[in-house]
Amino acid sequence: MTRLNSEFVRARVGNITRAAKEAGVRPGAVFELMSGKTTLYRAHVGTLLAIAEMANCGLDDLVVREPQIGVEDFATSIASWAEAAGGVKRRLNPGVVGVIRTPEDRVARMKRFPETPRPARSNLKRTGHYAI
């Protein structure tokens, strides 16, 4: 996670409101960045440059990078849950429940089902609300 080093800015700038007005930046924008309401990813570069000028420092002094501990993305979470369950259980057919561990298992399971003939397109009829 990346955030603005607000403690550093408060220590370097006496009156933030007055300094922001002198730098030509809306004081509310500075306070929103300092409180975390606006993230650095959404901040305007001009605002960040003005804050750096107010604090008499570089942009790298304003940015604090915090490591994300214990945070995982959705795909990693699903994979760990599936591994803990010993595979992904899926209901392929009413009454048939099995564990599919690999794509080969899926192909073997599909080959066991009887083939059903597909009707010709001319035999398909619309039914229900959309019938003409």
> Mean pLDDT over all residues of the chain?
78
**CA gap 52, 42 in Å, rounded:** 17
Instruction: Give the pLDDT band of residue 28 (cuts 50, 70, 90).
Output: very high
pLDDT at 38: 87
Q: What is the pTM of this model?
A: 0.50
Classify domain 2-65 by CATH number: 1.10.260.40
- pLDDT of 131 strictly over 80: no
Q: Cα–Cα distance between 86 and 101 in angstroms, integer? A: 8
pLDDT tens digits for range 68-92? 666 667 777 777 777 776 655 554 5
Please list the residue range(s) of the chain that carry CATH number 1.10.260.40: 2-65
Per-residue confidence (pLDDT) for residue 11, from 0 to 100: 92
Mean pLDDT computed over 37-45: 88
Distances (CA, A) of 106 to 98, 109, 111, 118: 10, 5, 9, 22
- For the chain, what's the residue count? 132
